[in-house]
Structure 1
Amino acid sequence: MTSNAEVIVVGAGPVGLLLACELAVAGVRVTVLERRAETVPQSRALTMHGRTLEMLALRGVAGRFLARGMPIPSGHFAGLPTRLDFSACDSTYPFTLFIPQSVTEQLLEAWAGELGVDLRRGATVEATGQDEDGVWVGGTQAGSPFRLAARYLVGADGARSLVRRQAGIAFDGLAATKTAMLGDVRLHTPPPGRAISLGNSAGGMMVVPLGGELYRVIVVDAQEIDVPVEVPVTLEGLSAATRRVAGEDFGMHSPEWLSRFSNQTCLAQSYRKGRIFLAGDAAHIHLPAGGQGMNVGMQDAMNLGWKLAGVLRGRADASLLDSYEGERHPVGAALYRNTLAQSALMMDSFDPAGQALRATLSDLMKGPELNATLAHDLSGFGIRYPAALLSGAPEGDGCARWIGRRLPDWPLQHADGTASSLYEHLASGRWLVLQVDGEVQGHYQPALDGAWVNVVTALVPGRAAELDGVAALVVRPDGYVDHAVPLRSSVTSGNPCPAQAVT
C-alpha cells in the first residue's frame, strides 16, 4: 500500500474530510485513512452553525448544505427557556442549519471525491511516528499491513485519538460525573409543534423532529444522572425518564438508536507536536451542548488547512504553522469553559437553588447585549484572532480594530458597474487584498508570495463609514482580516495608523 501524499489525515468525519478538501483546493496531495468501512448512519451532531456555513461559502459549496438542511433562527444555551437570537449577527447566515451529521459527511465526502482526495476506508491506523523530515503511519487494511509516509500528519480521529496518544500529547480535563440519555425513536403522539425543550426539578428534556415519525429525544433525568456512560440505554429506561421529566413519553416506540453521553470535558495540552497536528474531538471533547463540537472542529480544520497548504507550496515559512495552536487552542479553552458552565446548568441544577439560577440567567438573556454575546460565542461569529500574521503590518489603534476580525460576505461594487461578493474572491484559497479606495491600486503589496494573493478593487455598499480612512484590507484565506492599510490622507490628518500608509 503506497501513497504520494504530502499530508495524511486520520479520520473521515466532518473534521477530517473538510481538512482534506481545504488542502485539495490548494492542490495538496492528501490521503485520508478511516477505520470504518462504511459511514455511520446515526448522527451525533444535528447543528451546523452560521460560521461553519460561512467557511463553506468561502469555498463556494455552502449551497449544497443549505439545500439539505433547515435554517433555524435561534439556538439555546444550557436548554434555558430564553432562546439565543442569531439575527443580531452580521452574516449572510444568521441562523443554525438543522442538518444530520450523516448528511454533512456525505456531502463532504462527495466534494472530496470531486477534488481528488485519496480516501481509504477500512484502514486501521496502529502506529505513527515522525522525524525532522516527515511522518509515517502504519496499520492494516483488509487484513494486509500498510505503511505510508508524508510531510505532515493530522489526527482527526476523535476523542480516543491514537494519533494524540502516540504523539505523547496530554489530554487534560475532567472525568465524566453526570450522564444523559439519547434516543432516535418514533412517537405516536408527538408534542405540540413537534418539538419541545423544558427543564424542571426532575431534569431536562428536548424533543427534535428528524423527519417522518422519527424524533430525537434527549433526557437529563435527575434520578439517572449518576448512571455510568457505559450502561446501555433501553427503550423502557428512556420512556420512564421522559415520563418523569415531561409527564408522558409521547408514545415512543421502534428505536433506531439509543445511547448515553457524559459531561467529560478535556482539552489537548497542545495542538501540535512537530509535524503532527490535532483537530476536532482529538483536541477537545465536552458535553454536546449548543451543537458546538463538530463546528469548532471544522473551524480547526479550515484554520490549519490553508496554513499547511501555504507552507507545502513554498508560499509561506514553516513558522506560519505555529499560529494554528496559537489561534485555535484559546478557542478550545473557551469551548471548555462554556460547555462546563452549561453542564452545571443542565445536569446539576435540580434543587431549588439550581432552578432559581436557571430562571435568573434565562431572564438576563432577554437583554439584547447578553443574548448577542452568547449567540456570537456559540455560533463562532464572535471569534477574533489577536495578532496579524504578516510581518510589517501597520500598527496603531486605527488599524488594530481590523486585526483578526471576521468579515461577512460583503457585496462588492466594481468601477465597470459589475457586482460580486467578497467570498467569491476567496474561493481559490488565496489571500485577498481588497482595495476599497482607488488611490491604493497597485501601490501596496503585503509580505506574501504574489501567486498566493488575489487583488480586487471595489466599493462596499453600506460600509463607507465603517471603512473610513481605510485604503485596503488584507484578508486571509479563511475570511479573517490580517490587517488594514490606511489612506495617506488619514495619516496626515492624525489617524493613529501611520505605518506603510498608501501614497
Structure 2
Amino acid sequence: MFPVPGWVWFWPGDGVGVVGGAGAGVVVVGGGPVGLLVACELAAFGVRVLVVEARGSVSRRPRATTLHARSVQSLVRRGYLDGAAGVGAGGGNGGFHFAGMPGLTISVPVGEPVAVLKCEQEVLERSLEERARAAGVVVLRGHRVSGVCEVARGVRVSAVGPGGRAVEWVAEYVVGADGARGVVRELAGFDSRSYPATVSAMAGDARLEEPGALVAGWHRTPRGWVVVKDVAGGGVRLRTLNCEGAPGARGAPLSLEEFRGEVSRIVGREVGMGSPRWLSRFSDFSRLACCYRKGRVLLAGDAAHVHFPIGGQGLSTGVLDALNLGWKLALTVRGSAGEGLLDTYDRERRPAAQRVIDHTRAQLALMRPDAQLDPLRALFGELLAAAPEGGVLASMVSGQDTVLPARGADSSPWEGSFLANVPLVTGEGRTDVIGLLAAGRPLLLLLGAGTGAGAGAYEAQARGWAGVLRVVRAEPVPGLPYEAVLVRPDGYIGWAAGGGGLAPALRAYFGEGEGAEVRDAPSGAVS
C-alpha cells in the first residue's frame, strides 16, 4: 500500500507525514454505488476524495436491480447512465407491482427517461468506480475502518489494510456509506430508531431438478410467498417470505436443504433443486438514523436507513441521498456554501427515508397470508386497476411525489418541486433541462419576461455568484408559470420568481459569493 498524494497520513508508531498537496478533502467510507456516487459528485466540483472499502473487489453477489423514476431522472440530469435510460420516450413502465399485486403502472412525462430502469448493482458499481477514478478519486480496497473521531483538523479515520497494517487519515469531512452493517454510524455515535423483525425471508439462485416446476412471478399461498425469476444459464432466483415470525438465526449460514425445504413448504409440494450460487437470509428489520449529520460526519444510503426490500426502493433511496448530499458537501468544502446548507441534507432526505420505511411496512402488512386481509387486497387491486397512468401509489413508489421543504414563508409555491425536462431554445440553440444541468453547476434559468428587460435585473443580482452559478436565457416555455427559476444540480427548484427575492435565495445556497468559483463537471457518463 502506498501513500496517497494530498492526504495527511498517520502511520501508528512511525510518526506523522504529509504526502503532497496541502490539507485534506473528504473520506468516503464504503465503495458501493452510494459511496462511489458521492465521490463522483464531490470530484466533479474539484474536491479531493478518498474512498475506503473493506471488500477487495466489486461483489458479484446478486443485489439491487431496480432504479425508480426520480432516481433515474436525477442521475440523467447529472450526466450519468449514458443513454441507457431512454431519455425522451416518456410513458409508463406497465410491469411493476405493489405488495406483490401486479398492475402498478409507473408513468413519467414525455421527455423524461424510462420510468423503471433495470440495472444490476454490480454493473452500476463498476461504472461508478471507473468514473470516480477517472475524476481523480482514490479508491482503496481491502481496508476495514476501525475508528472515526473528530479532531482539531477535521475527522481522523483509522483502518486496517492488507496484511493487518494500521493506517489513519485526517479529512475535513467523512461520509459513512458503508451499508446496513457498516461501522461509521456506531463509531461516530449516531442514534437510530429501529423496527424489530417480524418476518423471515430467504433468497438464492439455484437450478430446479424439474425445469418449469416453478413459474416466474409472485406466488402467494396460505403459508407465505415465493417469488420466482428466471436467470441466465437455466437457473432461477428465488425469494421466500414466511410471516410466522422473525428468523431464529439471522446470521447463521443458509444451507441448500433448508432453502429447498422452505420453498417446498410454502408452495405445498416438493421442489427439488441443486447447484446453488448464493443463499442468504433477511427480514423486515428496519432502522432510521435520528440524524444524518453529526458535526463533520454524515451518513448516506443503507448506513442511514434500512427497510424491507419490497418494491426495489433501497438503491433508489440511496442514490437520491448521494445526489442531494454531493453538491452541498462539495460547496461546503470549497467555501461556497450558504450557512446551514449542509444541514438541509438531513431535513430533505431523512423524511423521505421515513416515508419509504412506512410504506414498505404497509406493503408487507398487505402481503401477510391472512384470509381476513383478502377484502383489503381486493380493494388495493381495484385501486391499481383504476389508475392506468400510475396514480398516488405509483408516484410514491417511484419517488416522483417528493416535494422538498421550502426555505421560508415567502417561498414561491414551486420551490421544492422537481423541474420537468422541458425543451428550451437559448441563444446557443435548442437544448433541454437535462442538457443544461449536465455540467453539474446550479442553474439560473431566465424565461418569458426574464429574457427581456427583467433579465438584466436578475443577472445583476446573480453577478456576485458568477463563479458558482450558470445563468442561461431561454424563450418562454408553455406551462412554466414563472419568468426565472433557480435549479439545483439534483434537478429540484431552489427558488422561483413570485416568492422572495433572488439575492437572499442565492445567499442561502451559496453564501456571500465573493468570487468563489466552481468548475463544470468533466464530460463523460456512467454506462
Task: Normalising by structure 1, report the TM-score.
Answer: 0.87
Tell me, in whole angstroms, the C-alpha distance in 1 between the residues paired with 2:171 and 2:244: 51
Q: CA deviation digits over 1:388-419, x for unaligned, max 9?
A: 38xxxx936xx31x110112322212356x21
Is the 8 Å Cα contact of residues 69 and 108 (structure 2) preserved in structure 1?
no
Structure 2 residue 147 is the aligned partner of structure 1 residue 157: no
Shift of 1:40: 1.0
Is the 8 Å Cα contact of residues 20 and 30 (structure 1) preserved in structure 2?
yes
Aligned mate of 1:381, from 394, 400, 403: 400
Indicate the SS of the match to 2:342: helix
Indicate the SS of the match to 1:360: helix
Is the 8 Å Cα contact of residues 72 and 97 (structure 1) preserved in structure 2?
no
Counterpart of 1:263?
284
Partner amino acid, structure 2, of 1:9? V
Counterpart of 2:211?
189
Structure 2 residue 480 is the aligned partner of structure 1 residue 467: yes
Is the 8 Å Cα contact of residues 315 and 449 (structure 1) preserved in structure 2?
no
Indicate the SS of the match to 1:211: coil
Q: CA deviation digits over 1:445-484, x for unaligned, max 9?
A: 4667221111112236xx51x223x111111111100121
Q: CA deviation digits over 1:241-287, x for unaligned, max 9?
A: 33344456776432111111101011001111001100111110111
Aligned mate of 1:97, from 117, 127, 141: 117
Residues 500, 451 of structure 1: alpha-carbon distance in 2 compared, 3 angstrom cutoff: closer
Counterpart of 2:467?
451
Aligned mate of 1:365, from 384, 405, 424: 384
Indicate the SS of the match to 2:58: coil
Counterpart of 2:136?
116
Counterpart mapping for 1:194-233 below 5 A = 195-221=216-242, 226-233=247-254
Tell me, in whole angstroms, the C-alpha distance in 1 between the residues paired with 2:353 and 2:245: 29
Shift of 1:172: 1.4
Shift of 1:161: 2.6
Indicate the SS of the match to 2:385: coil
Partner amino acid, structure 2, of 1:477? P
Tell me, in whole angstroms, the C-alpha distance in 2 between the residues paired with 1:435 and 1:29: 33
Indicate the SS of the match to 2:369: coil
Tell me, in whole angstroms, the C-alpha distance in 2 between the residues paired with 1:373 and 1:314: 40
Tell me, in whole angstroms, the C-alpha distance in 2 between the residues paired with 1:211 and 1:280: 29
- Identify the range of structure 1 (213-222 vs 261-270) with the bigger mean alpha-carbon deviation: 213-222
Shift of 1:41: 0.8
Residues 367, 191 of structure 1: alpha-carbon distance in 2 compared, 3 angstrom cutoff: farther
Counterpart of 2:509?
none
- Identify the range of structure 1 (257-266 vs 354-363) with the bigger mean alpha-carbon deviation: 354-363
Residues 249, 372 of structure 1: alpha-carbon distance in 2 compared, 3 angstrom cutoff: farther
Aligned mate of 1:304, from 322, 325, 334: 325
Tell me, in whole angstroms, the C-alpha distance in 1 between the residues paired with 2:154 and 2:83: 36
Tell me, in whole angstroms, the C-alpha distance in 1 between the residues paired with 2:396 and 2:431: 29
Tell me, in whole angstroms, the C-alpha distance in 1 between the residues paired with 2:488 and 2:243: 47
Indicate the SS of the match to 2:206: strand
Is the 8 Å Cα contact of residues 61 and 278 (structure 2) preserved in structure 1?
yes
Partner amino acid, structure 1, of 2:340? S
- Identify the range of structure 1 (270-279 vs 127-136) with the bigger mean alpha-carbon deviation: 127-136
Structure 2 residue 150 is the aligned partner of structure 1 residue 130: yes
Indicate the SS of the match to 1:129: strand
Residues 302, 327 of structure 1: alpha-carbon distance in 2 compared, 3 angstrom cutoff: same
Indicate the SS of the match to 1:452: coil
Tell me, in whole angstroms, the C-alpha distance in 2 between the residues paired with 1:190 and 1:72: 27
Shift of 1:110: 1.2
Indicate the SS of the match to 2:340: helix
Is the 8 Å Cα contact of residues 54 and 141 (structure 2) preserved in structure 1?
yes
Tell me, in whole angstroms, the C-alpha distance in 1 between the residues paired with 2:93 and 2:232: 15
Structure 2 residue 404 is the aligned partner of structure 1 residue 424: no
Tell me, in whole angstroms, the C-alpha distance in 2 between the residues paired with 1:318 and 1:250: 61
Shift of 1:372: 1.7
- Identify the range of structure 1 (247-256 vs 160-169) with the bigger mean alpha-carbon deviation: 247-256
Q: CA deviation digits over 1:186-218, x for unaligned, max 9?
A: 3452479x7311223221122123333233211
Tell me, in whole angstroms, the C-alpha distance in 2 between the residues paired with 1:223 and 1:404: 42
Task: Count the aligned residue pairs.
Answer: 472
Query: Gaps (5+ residues) in structure 1?
Result: 487-496
Residues 221, 177 of structure 1: alpha-carbon distance in 2 compared, 3 angstrom cutoff: closer
Tell me, in whole angstroms, the C-alpha distance in 1 between the residues paired with 2:337 and 2:243: 53
Shift of 1:93: 2.5
Structure 2 residue 407 is the aligned partner of structure 1 residue 395: no
Tell me, in whole angstroms, the C-alpha distance in 1 between the residues paired with 2:500 and 2:135: 43
Shift of 1:428: 2.2
Shift of 1:228: 3.5
Counterpart of 2:491?
479
Indicate the SS of the match to 2:194: strand
- Identify the range of structure 1 (217-226 vs 267-276) with the bigger mean alpha-carbon deviation: 217-226
Tell me, in whole angstroms, the C-alpha distance in 1 between the residues paired with 2:100 and 2:300: 27
Alpha-carbon RMSD across the aligned residues, in angstroms, is 2.7
Counterpart of 2:419?
407
Counterpart of 1:41?
60
Counterpart of 2:169?
148
Structure 2 residue 290 is the aligned partner of structure 1 residue 276: no
Indicate the SS of the match to 1:297: helix
Is the 8 Å Cα contact of residues 107 and 390 (structure 2) preserved in structure 1?
no
Tell me, in whole angstroms, the C-alpha distance in 2 between the residues paired with 1:498 and 1:17: 36
Tell me, in whole angstroms, the C-alpha distance in 2 between the residues paired with 1:338 and 1:364: 16
Is the 8 Å Cα contact of residues 105 and 388 (structure 2) preserved in structure 1?
no
Is the 8 Å Cα contact of residues 46 and 99 (structure 1) preserved in structure 2?
yes
Is the 8 Å Cα contact of residues 64 and 107 (structure 1) preserved in structure 2?
no
Is the 8 Å Cα contact of residues 289 and 304 (structure 2) preserved in structure 1?
yes
Tell me, in whole angstroms, the C-alpha distance in 1 between the residues paired with 2:56 and 2:228: 31
Shift of 1:166: 1.5
Aligned mate of 1:30, from 44, 49, 55: 49
Tell me, in whole angstroms, the C-alpha distance in 1 between the residues paired with 2:430 and 2:144: 49
Residues 223, 284 of structure 1: alpha-carbon distance in 2 compared, 3 angstrom cutoff: closer
Tell me, in whole angstroms, the C-alpha distance in 1 between the residues paired with 2:151 and 2:385: 54
Is the 8 Å Cα contact of residues 232 and 259 (structure 1) preserved in structure 2?
yes
Tell me, in whole angstroms, the C-alpha distance in 1 between the residues paired with 2:457 and 2:233: 59
Partner amino acid, structure 2, of 1:25? A
Shift of 1:9: 0.4
